[in-house]
Structure 1
Amino acid sequence: MTPPPTDANQAGTGTTESGGRLVLVTGQEGAGKSTILRALLPRTPEGARIDAEDIGQTNPCPMDDRFFDLLRRNVAGLVERFWAAGYVNVVAGSFLRHHSDYLAFRRLLPRPAAVFMVELLVDKHVRDRRRVTRAKRTTQRWRDMVDLIPEDRTIREATDADYRYVGVDTTGLDVAATVQQIMDAVPEIYRR
């Protein structure tokens, strides 16, 4: 693996005045956000990965609006620092619940060159199986609480969005096939 550039001028394409590119991975708990973020990074040229589930661990974990505001600010700060260091393509996820979260997040960043919103969709029976077999263990109580949150469609249905929406149904896909679908949908970053 090539060492990262030490500043934006040394990067192959560098960040532009309009900012870098951003791939945001969203989906319900158990959709595979963290798995896909990890799998995308080695395929992302001049890339950096931010998984808010890793940087946003707290005890207690309130999962309320105040907590998500803190998470958005932390992710936005990291995105800016990665861009400034020459990592043109940032993949991030696990911090957007709905379109209004995205709008609040965008106000924290300079205008990126491009934003790609990847929503991982999965049938409930597959999602439930993933939730109990994955490395990030959760309790039944936690899963029951999360299941009370209705599925949000505002990210995919936003009419004035400044991002390209990419919906990927992962129900019958393995990780490699999911990553390939994302790469095919975002040739600006993953051109062969």
Structure 2
Amino acid sequence: MPDQQRSLIVITGEEGAGKSTVMSALLPHTPNGAKIDAEDIGQVNPFTFDGPFLELLRQNLTAVIANFLDAGYTTVIAGSFLDGDTYDGLRSLRTRLPSDLALYVVQLRASKIVRDQRRIARPKPSSQEWRDRVDAGYPIGDTSLQDNAYDYRYLMIDNSDQQLDETVAAIKLAIPEVYVLRRAVPED
């Protein structure tokens, strides 16, 4: 197979937009791929959401991405960053990664009704108070990821009315460099 450019696919979106679900569904379609859910590497007790914790999370996340790339995985799917849903959060991550890494940002959106249904149905504990508190902290109307898409490809998907396979298909179609089938090059 020809060498494939190393890529990072960042999945962002509000809580309940489907980040973890989409990342898990996308991985089997990702040739030579790895998946990192920042929510998993940020599980600590006691949980203190402050500047030093966010810095530790950024360091851990970039170290795991780099480790996968150094081990030969050409595409890393990463998501669920605590501050990655804005351009400032993405820029902070980007400055820590290799400059030759192709970057793709997929921002998932879903209506509040759909997000609440998903959050209630999953195994994590949830309450109306918690959902409202998390939603209040999300940068509503922030278009900075789309507006600053100069050195990365940006894709926004409203998956409120989509089945999971439709969302995965839309991502694969938008990133043919990663998801196109490559033919073996005949040897001379």
Deviation at 1:15, TM superposition (A): 6.8
Q: Does 1:156 align with 2:156?
A: no
> Which position in structure 2 is the counterpart of 1:9?
none
Counterpart in the other structure of 1:182: 171
Read off the aligned partner of 1:166 and give its amino acid letter.
L
1:165 alignment partner AA: Y
In the TM superposition, 1:4-19 aligns within 5 A as: 12=1
CA contact (8 A) 1:21 1:90 kept: yes
Aligned CA distance change for structure 1 residues 69 and 94 (closer, same or farther; 3 Å)? same
Change in Cα spacing, 1:170 to 1:79, as seen in structure 2 (3 Å) is same
**Equivalent of 2:52, from 66, 75, 82?**
66
Equivalent pair of 2:14/2:135 in contact (CA under 8 Å): no
Could you list the per-position Cα deviations for residues 110-157 of structure 1 after superposition, in whole angstroms to 9, with x for gaps in the alignment? 113310000001111111111111233333332121121132332122
Q: Map Cα deviations across residues 37-94 of structure 1 (whole Å, 9 max, x no partner).
A: 1111111000000001111112233333332222121111111111111100100001
**1:140/1:29 Cα in 2 relative to 1: closer, same or farther (>3 Å)?**
same
* TM-score (ref. length: structure 1): 0.85
CA distance in 1, matches of 2:143, 2:47: 24
Q: Which runs of 5+ in 1 are unaligned?
A: 1-11
* Equivalent position amino acid for 1:79 in 2: I
Unaligned runs of 5+ in 2: 182-188
Aligned residues: 177
Counterpart for residue 21 of structure 1: 7
**Residue in structure 2 matched with residue 80 of structure 1 by the alignment:** 66
| Partner residue, 1:38 | 24
TM-score by length of 2: 0.87
Cα RMSD over matched residues?
1.8
User: What displacement does 1:14 show?
Assistant: 5.4
Identity fraction in percent: 44
Alignment match of 1:107 (pick from 92, 95, 116): 95
Q: Find the partner of 1:116 among 94, 104, 121.
A: 104
1:167 to 2:167 alignment: no
Greater displacement, 25-34 / 147-156: 147-156
